[in-house]
């Protein structure tokens, strides 16, 4: 059997470079993590300070780069060389060879097909890396996120309730899945 997984290999698409976050990306990541609209349908509160984002970058993202298998990407626009979003595969189960995709994109770049391009490229990488399947979820009130999943070939599985922490609210999620190996 081939080795399962890798750790955030660089991926290039027509308009994007998906690469590891760097220390210099902190301000760009703060713009994404502090935007109320971007984080509206995510379980955490928007970041209130660059220090909070720096702690997240070093304590969570960079910590994942120390693991054998992890996928934590900065989405860099080729045309402007700017970090416009993030993309990850988390909750990785090495035995089942699966994980869950999540993402966020600057509001100014919504509606341009960038996230569909990035997610499609990540799914192709996960397939090359031996994943059997991946899932993704979106809040029922965020159908644009679901369209990204559908355009990338994911199929609807079910709707379920979840209690969000730290926001302390109930929400309903739609779960999507794509099988990567027969």
Tell me what pLDDT residue 1 has. Answer: 46
Q: What is the mean pLDDT of residues 74-84?
A: 96
104, β-bridge pairs: 86
Residues whose CB falls within 8 Å of the CB of residue 128, separated by 6 or more in sequence, listed in order: none
From the list 116, 109, 168, 170, the residue with the least C-alpha distance to 140 is 170
Q: 16: which 2 tokens?
A: 């994007």
At 65, is the secondary structure helix, strand, or coil?
coil
Q: pLDDT (tens digit, 9 = 90+) per residue, 24-55?
A: 999 999 999 999 999 999 888 999 999 999 99
Q: 141: which 2 tokens?
A: 């009130």
Residue 3 has pLDDT above 90, yes or no: no
Q: Which segments of 16-161 does DSSP mark as H helices, in order?
A: 26-34, 50-56, 62-64, 114-128, 143-151
Tell me what pLDDT residue 111 has. Answer: 95
Tell me what pLDDT residue 73 has. Answer: 98
From the list 127, 134, 145, 120, the residue with the least C-alpha distance to 18 is 120
At 66, is the secondary structure helix, strand, or coil?
coil
Q: pLDDT (tens digit, 9 = 90+) per residue, 95-152?
A: 999 999 999 999 999 999 999 999 999 999 999 999 999 999 999 999 999 999 999 9
Residue 181 has pLDDT above 90, yes or no: no
What average pLDDT is seen over the chain?
Answer: 95
From the list 127, 145, 125, the residue with the least C-alpha distance to 136 is 145
b/e string for 162-174 if b means 16 or more Cβ within 10 A?
eeeeeeeeebebb
Tell me what pLDDT residue 164 has. Answer: 87
Q: 100: which 2 tokens?
A: 């869950």
Residue 58 has pLDDT above 70, yes or no: yes
Q: What is the mean pLDDT of residues 48-77?
A: 97
Q: pLDDT (tens digit, 9 = 90+) per residue, 138-151?
A: 999 999 999 999 99
- The residue that leads in pLDDT, 17 or 2, is 17
Tell me what pLDDT residue 2 has. Answer: 55
Global pTM reads 0.95
């Amino acid at each position: 059997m081939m080795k399962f997984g890798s750790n955030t290999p660089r991926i290039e698409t027509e308009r994007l470079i998906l690469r590891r976050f760097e220390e210099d990306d902190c301000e760009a990541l703060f713009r994404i993590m502090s935007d109320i609209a971007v984080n509206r349908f995510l379980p955490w509160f928007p970041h209130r300070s660059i220090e909070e984002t720096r702690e997240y970058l070093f304590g969570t993202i960079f910590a994942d780069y120390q693991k054998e298998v992890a996928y934590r990407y900065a989405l860099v626009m080729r045309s402007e060389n700017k970090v416009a979003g993030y993309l990850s595969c988390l909750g990785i189960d090495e035995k089942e060879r699966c994980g869950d995709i999540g993402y966020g994109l600057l509001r100014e770049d919504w509606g341009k097909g960038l996230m569909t391009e990035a997610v499609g490229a990540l799914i192709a990488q996960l397939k090359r890396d031996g994943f059997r399947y991946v899932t993704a979820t979106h809040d029922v009130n965020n159908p644009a996120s679901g369209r990204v999943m559908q355009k990338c070939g994911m199929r609807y599985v079910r709707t379920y309730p979840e209690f969000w922490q730290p926001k302390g609210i109930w929400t309903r999620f739609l779960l999507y899945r794509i099988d990567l190996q027969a």
